[in-house]
Amino acid sequence: MLILEYSPVAALNRTFALAKARGKEPAIAEAEKLNISNSHFYFSLLGNLYSGIDRYRALSHFKAALDLAHTDEEKTIVKKNICKLEGSDEERLNKTN
């Protein structure tokens, strides 16, 4: 699929599948090659991949995703991920920009 016609969404899906099949480290290496800096999905994926490995980097990626998210639903999902990493409760979810 990626060879026939490049698609950033297909590349992100492949990276997610790679994380499930081979682990987070190989998926991080592949994701960072993509450098899709205008997509909140890209930064959310990196945030999830770094979760449990590097909390600071995970938070940084989730905050970038929050800045790029368009809808309230997308922002809520990203905020929940940030709150999980910060050890926050649901009340702080509403205070996160």
What is the residue extent of each domain of the chain? 8-93
Q: CATH assignment of 8-93, given 2.60.120.890, 1.25.40.10, 3.40.50.920, 3.50.50.60?
A: 1.25.40.10
pLDDT band at 1 (very low <50, low <70, confident <90, very high): very low
How many beta carbons lie within 10 A of that of residue 63, not counting itself?
Answer: 15
Give the model confidence (pLDDT) of 24-73 as tens digits.
999 999 999 998 999 999 999 999 999 999 999 999 999 999 999 999 99
Mean pLDDT over 78-94 rounds to 78
The pTM for the full model equals: 0.83
pLDDT band at 97 (very low <50, low <70, confident <90, very high): low
Q: Is the pLDDT reported for residue 96 higher than 50?
A: yes
